[in-house]
Amino acid sequence: MSSESAQGTAALPRPLSLDRSDSPVPATSIEDTVSLEESRGTQAHVPLPVYLQQTYWWAYLHPASVRIFERQWLVNLILWGNFAELRDAALKELEPFSNGNILQVACVYGDFTERLTQRLGPNGRLDVVDVAPVQLENLKTKLDNDTLHIGLHHQDSTNLRFADASYDCVVVFFLLHEQPENIRIRTIAQALRVVKPGGKVVFVDYHRPDWLNPFRYVMIPILTSLEPFAMDLWRKDIMEWLPDGARDLKIDKQTFFGGLYQKVVITTQS
Ligand SMILES: C[S@@+](CC[C@H](N)C(=O)[O-])C[C@H]1O[C@@H](n2cnc3c(N)ncnc32)[C@H](O)[C@@H]1O
């Protein structure tokens, strides 16, 4: 594991907004967001992104995908046994905000969200967004029906319908590598838009492994054939996708497993 810290050259003069006509919505309950709103027809239309339909349909959209992939051991195997370490590294960053508002951008197979909710304090709240209804329904089965502290929202990471500066911490766990670069840039900008001054955005994702790491050579054919956008994270730092006009952000980067994975924590100016 290795880490470095950098003071970025950019900050957010004001929260960035990519939202179009949709007005921000307050956090709402599981029922309101996953089922009731949809059945009442009040939910904004959230189309499935093309990359998800074309590249990841088998992993996240097909009815059998949840049955196949919702296995802790399999999620851990996909990350070469590193799931727990990466999950806990992300959750550790949330500790100071256990009584604040936390946003998780995109669901994850395995127990990431369950563990996150276990760390919430009495006044803490977690909102989770995902663009695939089947993933939200699956997540719902893994969580207590605690609508006071948990909200599930059918939204796209590039168009979050939350107010600017409304979360103390935003966590984006293994989403960026699945997105084409132009989409990834918008996801990052949205995460920064909704985080409060003095809050944190936590990214955990792939990273270019060290030359001597044998997994470097194992992962090239796997990623290039199954995850066509993932190699972007080997070529560029997440910092390179931060929005223009951002400055004075505190950026901490830590790598894991010989550099194959990274955690990047961006702390915004208070
Ligand atoms: C966060 S990644 C998690 C990958 C990880 N390997 C795992 O363990 O599942 C996958 C999730 O991202 C969601 N997703 C992909 N693109 C999205 C977007 N634009 N907005 C919101 N969720 C998105 C997918 O629907 C899926 O549930």
4 closest CA partner among 234, 253, 202: 253
What residues does 129 pair with on adjacent strands? 105, 153
The whole model's pTM is what? Answer: 0.87
CA of 26: how far to CAs of 12, 79, 201, in Å? 22, 34, 19
Do you know the residue count of the chain?
Answer: 270
Residues 6+ apart with CB under 8 A from 59: 65, 69
Ligand 1 atom nearest to 51, measured from its CA: 16
Cβ partners under 8 Å of residue 92, min gap 6: none
pLDDT tens-place values along the chain, 270 residues long: 566 654 433 333 232 222 223 444 444 344 444 443 343 344 578 999 999 999 999 999 998 999 999 999 999 999 999 999 999 999 999 999 999 999 999 999 999 999 999 999 999 999 999 999 999 999 999 999 899 999 999 999 999 999 999 999 999 999 999 999 999 999 999 999 999 999 999 999 999 999 999 999 999 999 999 999 999 999 999 999 999 877 679 999 999 999 999 999 999 988
Nearest CA to ligand 1 atom 27: 107
Cα–Cα nearest to 200, from 97, 106, 114, 111 = 97
Q: Residue with the nearest Cα to atom 22 of ligand 1?
A: 130
Domains of the chain: 2-267 (3.40.50.150)
